[in-house]
């Protein structure tokens, strides 16, 4: 498959279908917020959301009614507290019930790694003494065929679409990421379709030998999108807006306040640039 | 140095548990403050690992998340997340896991998943995250938690990470490689497992705290060790360092970030 250069709205329209399983990865760093917002603008429904740490981006997708189920391992607002929209969906079924496929970080990492390798399951020494296997039939135990040791097994995660945000890609579609990478590479290579939004498209990638490079033929689409990870961050470009993460606690706490904010800043803005501009206008007021 | 809060004292007492040669997997929140206080005082060479894959990180301000840019910029190296859990934690290369939780029981098992039944919880908490395997594989675990009967409970609503399971050697029999909770640091004093039953018992109190106060704050009939130590108050250096760290952190987290237009 060759890599296409697309605009964000085109890429979401082309690849993200109702009912699809999608993984917007990026561990705190490089969370693809612009892509998440575009999914909300296009009112995609019935999605199976996959992400180790749902973060604000999935709180928004869940609250806006885009999700049917969630595979995850830690669902909070880091350092702040709850994801109120995720909680409302689990505790009260609002806007509709959310099916959970809950893992630990190590289990999700093993599932993505297996998916990237096209193996049926991942193996780990994990979950012992926890109640998670009792509530998630996807966590099972197998015996090592060589020693007999009992190990945890989790089915591979192979999202229909993985979406990442990266600092840069070149014109051929090779993608470079530096800083915290989380499980981005594994989630990318586990997917059937990979969309990458980038801060900039360059003629030649900088010679950073160990920065993650996803080669062009595993990338379905590259999308130029400056600021596409905000309010998370892009190392070398802009910092995580910790003050915004704190403010989100108030914005998302009640349904009406959340819906009003999403309408004003996401539904009523045509694209990510306009979203950022609306926040700046608000900050200046 | 008497004019310190119990939270500050608790953080200082937790920091003192760490050694200069420790490799420590850091949980967010109270543990992060304690681990960095140790690094800035008596343990300058301690290796701090956050689950975002940052190894040997030396942040100037405390991160709000476990993946702030500050952690990557000041790290010895940054590795992919599957690597931190497989090649480091699961491979037995972590000495200390430092965890928080919403609930703990008398055998040091932790709940950070739900209050109420799993299928229909009254409060959905964030979940296990990295803690489930940190609790299994770190050679020893320290837990920090303010003592209240709501958090130190007779029975967990959900077991997110393993302590000593049902005690009396159950953890070792389950084949769990790491050593389990060595100490639980609270804002009243410190609990540690009994060598045989593995039940947490009161082993130390802050000056001015009493056994009765500790018993009132713990939701099970708290056993008390034969000898109760008094935890020395924070030194001027410990307290000054902690307060400066917290002040830098507050300032940094409130600083407006340029919107990347």
Partners of A113 on chain B (C-beta within 8 Å) are: 82
Phi-psi region of B226 (alpha: psi -120 to 50; beta: other; left: phi over 0): alpha
Domains identified in chain B, total number: 1
Q: Please give the DSSP secondary-structure letter assigned to residue B258.
A: P
Q: What is the pLDDT of residue B28?
A: 78
Q: If pLDDT is split at 50, 70 and 90, which confidence band does B2 have?
A: low
Range of the domain at B158: 6-251
Asked whether residue B256 is assigned to any structural domain, the reply reads: no
Tell me which residue of A232, A80, A106, A66 sits closest to A164, measured CA to CA. Answer: A232
* A176, A206 Cβ separation under 8 angstroms: yes
* A125, B177 Cβ separation under 8 angstroms: yes
Asked whether residue B138 is assigned to any structural domain, the reply reads: yes
What average pLDDT does chain B have? 96
CA dihedral B58, B60, B62, B66 (to 10 degrees): -40
For A208-223, what is the mean pLDDT?
A: 90
- Which phi and psi angles does B26 have, rounded to 5°? -100, 125
Q: If pLDDT is split at 50, 70 and 90, which confidence band does A210 have?
A: confident
Substitution target in B28, B99, B126 with the highest count of A β-carbons within 10 Å is B126
CA–CA distance, A140 with B23 (Å, rounded to integer): 31
Asked whether residue B259 is assigned to any structural domain, the reply reads: no
Asked whether residue B126 is assigned to any structural domain, the reply reads: yes
Q: What is the pLDDT of residue B251?
A: 93
pLDDT in tens, A23-49: 999 999 999 999 999 999 999 999 999
Substitution target in B74, B157, B261 with the highest count of A β-carbons within 10 Å is B261
* Chain A (155-174) residues lying within 8 Å, Cβ to Cβ, of chain B: none
From first CA to last CA, the distance across chain B in angstroms is: 49
A24-38, A202-216, B143-157, B244-258: range with lowest mean pLDDT: A202-216
pLDDT in tens, B27-64: 878 899 999 999 999 999 999 999 999 999 999 999 99
SS (H, E, C) B161-215: ECCCCCCCCHHHHCCCCCCCEEEEECCCEEEEECCCCCCEEEEEEECCCCHHHHH
Q: If pLDDT is split at 50, 70 and 90, which confidence band does A121 have?
A: very high
Residue of A nearest to B163 (CA): A129
* B32, B144 Cβ separation under 8 angstroms: no
Query: What is the value of ipTM here, to two decimals?
Result: 0.96
Q: What is the pLDDT of residue A1?
A: 59
Asked whether residue B261 is assigned to any structural domain, the reply reads: no
CATH for A4-103+158-284 is: 3.40.1080.10
For A163-189, what is the mean pLDDT?
A: 96
For A151-159, what is the mean pLDDT?
A: 98
In the residue annotation, B51 being an active-site residue is answered as yes
Alpha helices in chain A (DSSP H): 8-15, 33-41, 55-63, 84-92, 105-117, 132-135, 184-190, 242-251, 255-262, 272-284
Cβ within 8 Å, pair B174-A235:
no
CATH of the domain at B232: 3.40.1080.10
- A vs B, Cβ pairs < 8 A, gives 216
CA distances to A30, A164, B26, B143, B247 from B31, in Å: 25, 30, 6, 8, 17
The contacts of residue A111 (CB under 8 Å, 6+ apart) are A103, A121, A122, A154, A155, A156, A157
Residue of A nearest to B164 (CA): A129
CA–CA distance, A73 with B62 (Å, rounded to integer): 23
Q: Please give the DSSP secondary-structure letter assigned to residue A10.
A: H
Q: What is the pLDDT of residue B258?
A: 87
* Chain B (12-31) residues lying within 8 Å, Cβ to Cβ, of chain A: 28-29
Query: Which residues are A102's β-sheet partners?
Result: A72
Give the number of residues written for chain B.
261
Predicted confidence (pLDDT) at residue A197 exceeds the cutoff of 50: yes
Q: What is the pLDDT of residue B1?
A: 46
- Which phi and psi angles does B260 have, rounded to 5°? -75, 70
For B105-130, what is the mean pLDDT?
A: 97
- What residue spans define the domains of chain A? 4-103+158-284, 106-155
- To which H or E segment does residue B37 belong? helix B30-40
């Amino acid at each position: 498959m060759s890599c296409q250069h697309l605009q964000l709205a085109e890429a979401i329209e082309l690849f993200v279908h109702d009912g699809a399983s999608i993984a917007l990865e990026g561990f705190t760093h490089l969370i693809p917020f612009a892509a998440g917002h575009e999914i909300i603008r296009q009112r995609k429904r019935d999605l199976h959301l996959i992400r180790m740490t749902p973060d604000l981006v999935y709180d928004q997708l869940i609250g806006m009614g885009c999700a049917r189920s969630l595979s995850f391992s830690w669902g909070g607002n880091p350092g702040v507290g709850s994801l109120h929209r995720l909680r409302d969906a689990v505790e009260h079924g609002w806007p509709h019930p959310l099916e959970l496929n809950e893992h630990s970080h190590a289990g999700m990492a093993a599932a993505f790694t297996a998916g990237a390798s096209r193996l049926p399951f991942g193996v780990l020494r994990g979950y012992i003494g926890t109640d998670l296997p009792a509530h998630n039939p996807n966590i099972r135990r197998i015996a090592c065929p060589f020693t007999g040791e009992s190990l945890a097994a989790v089915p591979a995660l192979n999202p229909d679409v993985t979406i990442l945000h990266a600092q840069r890609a070149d014109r051929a579609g090779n993608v470079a990421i530096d800083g915290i990478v989380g499980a981005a590479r594994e989630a990318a290579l586990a997917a059937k379709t990979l969309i990458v939004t980038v801060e900039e498209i360059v003629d030649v990638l900088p010679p950073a030998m160990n920065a993650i490079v996803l080669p062009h033929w595993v990338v379905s689409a590259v999308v130029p999108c400056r600021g596409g990870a905000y309010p998370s961050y892009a190392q070398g470009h802009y910092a995580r807006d910790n003050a915004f993460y704190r403010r989100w606690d108030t914005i998302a706490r009640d349904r009406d306040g959340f819906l009003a904010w999403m309408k004003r800043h996401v539904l009523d803005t045509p694209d990510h640039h306009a979203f950022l501009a609306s926040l700046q206008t608000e900050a200046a007021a | 140095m008497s004019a310190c809060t119990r939270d500050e004292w608790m953080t200082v007492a937790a920091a003192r548990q760490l050694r200069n040669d420790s490799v420590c997997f850091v949980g967010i929140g109270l543990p992060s403050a304690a681990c960095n206080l140790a690094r800035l005082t008596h343990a300058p060479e301690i290796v701090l690992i956050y689950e975002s894959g940052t190894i040997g990180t030396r942040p100037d301000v405390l991160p709000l998340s476990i993946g702030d840019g500050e952690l990557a910029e000041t790290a010895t190296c940054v590795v992919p997340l599957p690597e931190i859990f497989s090649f480091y934690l699961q491979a037995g290369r972590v000495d200390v896991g430092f965890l928080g939780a919403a609930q703990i029981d008398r055998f040091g098992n932790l709940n950070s998943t739900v209050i109420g039944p799993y299928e229909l919880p009254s409060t959905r908490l964030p979940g296990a995250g990295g803690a489930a395997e940190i609790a299994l594989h770190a050679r020893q675990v320290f837990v920090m938690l303010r003592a209240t009967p709501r958090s130190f409970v007779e029975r967990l609503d959900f077991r997110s990470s393993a302590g000593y399971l049902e005690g009396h050697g159950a953890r070792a029999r389950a084949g769990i490689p790491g050593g389990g909770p060595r100490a639980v640091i609270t804002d009243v004093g410190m609990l540690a497992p009994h060598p045989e039953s593995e039940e947490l018992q009161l082993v130390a109190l802050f000056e001015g705290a009493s056994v009765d106060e500790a018993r009132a704050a713990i939701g099970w009939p708290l056993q008390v060790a034969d000898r109760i130590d008094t935890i020395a108050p924070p030194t001027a250096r410990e307290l000054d360092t902690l307060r400066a760290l917290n002040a830098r952190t507050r300032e940094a987290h409130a600083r407006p970030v340029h919107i990347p237009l």
